[in-house]
Structure 1
């Protein structure tokens, strides 16, 4: 529920991101940073858990009827209103001192992301969107509305994707190579950032063969509100099907045709 007379959901997401940034910036490159391994062998730091706990505490007070799904503490977003959280997307970067990481916050209503907030304090950037309100970002140049590119041919497209080993394990080495070969240029910006770059119009296609719901829920509403298209690698417009494809919309079907071939 939204508390009468109080901030709306996007304003609340902004406050949640501010709370997260205060924790992550204080713990970045900390000499006493505690690091553990989860069962899937991915790392988790004390900053990850501290951020998620802080956000959950605020939500428990300000949106007590909403569910929460977080990377570190679990939960569900199956029905109704749910906040989907990735306290630090890019934990490997965070613990190695690489400044490319962000806190991802999404509000999902009956399975559809309606608010997305992505805050990358060490990059000095924040991106946000709400259904019907467009996509926005702020950086050193100020706050502005963003939109996807107009590139209409894959041979002119700038692609970002993940490492080849993940494609070999979870999808197809051949389709990875086919997609890279079809595009003008490819990079691996990784994690949250390449979806944000699609929304900004800086790149045209982002494909990930393996993701978790908290990795891309915020990205889905950001990309779509920027005029692009978001789906899994089979073309279904869902953040929770285990893969992700963000494009400027003009290239989406062509990319799907390659990946489903």
Structure 2
């Protein structure tokens, strides 16, 4: 399902770079963009789910929805829409199955590389069938931290202040622009940790499960009041506690 949707996104991206125009609108701010490809892809996934899993609820970024009884499918048709628009190849289609608000299965598929990140609760995480395991940094000074920024300028400013405070305490900071893939990067050990404020359920539903099943310590929005009620946190176990303490000291809860 996610793979089929990613194929459509990849084709649309190739057509854009070949000269085809795509309608672009904005949502919460001028930097919060949505394309016709986002909407078309979500509709494609919804149609597939209606055929394969009739009667089950769908919660999507573009068309909304609400959790239902039993399984709810959580869909982000293009996570990293700005990257997609610019031809920057760090974007993905994310689909997760949740029961009572808890992810039980998830897939994140990259249209450009074709990588498929998958996980099922209690069954581990994989990329293209290969098992994933988080890194094991020995301290904050050798920790590579990933993060992201909100669409609102005032909040981005506070987030930048937090990052500035962390730069002297960690190895370095990365900002790639697609939360689902940032969480997958934690699972692969490409980065050691990830924190971001203001994510929606579709941003983390699949990626957070993949990170957790790869061994990361994960806290979802509402589970880490010390970092802020809407914080998403994933980290290698060896540095999770000191990193969380350092984030609190840097003002994460005020972001």
Residue of structure 2 equivalent to 1:125: 115
Q: Distance in 2 between matches of 1:226 and 1:88?
A: 23
Residue of structure 1 equivalent to 2:13: 28
Larger displacement relative to structure 2 (39-48 or 146-155): 39-48
1:222-241 map, 5 Å: 222-232=210-220, 235-236=223-224
Residue of structure 1 equivalent to 2:189: 201
Residue of structure 2 equivalent to 1:190: 177
Matched, 1:59 2:49: yes
Which of 134, 137, 152 matches 1:151?
A: 137
1:27-176 map, 5 Å: 27-29=12-14, 30=16, 31-41=20-30, 42-77=32-67, 80-138=70-128, 143-163=129-149, 169=155, 173-176=160-163
Q: Distance in 2 between matches of 1:164 and 1:51?
A: 23
Cα RMSD after superposing both structures: 2.4
Residue of structure 2 equivalent to 1:248: 236
Q: Distance in 2 between matches of 1:233 and 1:167?
A: 21
Residue of structure 1 equivalent to 2:252: none
Tell me by how many angstroms 1:39 deviates: 4.2
Tell me by how many angstroms 1:131 deviates: 0.6
Could you tell me which runs of 5 or more consecutive residues in structure 2 were left unpaired when the two chains were aligned.
250-255
Tell me by how many angstroms 1:187 deviates: 1.7
Q: Is the 8 A contact 1:49 1:72 kept in 2?
A: yes
Q: Normalising by structure 2, what TM-score?
A: 0.85
Q: Deviations over 1:87-134 (max 9, x none)?
A: 000111111222211001111111111111000020231111001111
Could you tell me which runs of 5 or more consecutive residues in structure 1 were left unpaired when the two chains were aligned.
1-15
Q: Normalising by structure 1, what TM-score?
A: 0.83
Q: Distance in 2 between matches of 1:176 and 1:62?
A: 43
Q: Distance in 1 between matches of 2:119 and 2:164?
A: 33
Q: Distance in 2 between matches of 1:186 and 1:259?
A: 13
Q: Is the 8 A contact 1:71 1:86 kept in 2?
A: yes
SS of 1:260's partner is helix
Larger displacement relative to structure 2 (152-161 or 228-237): 228-237
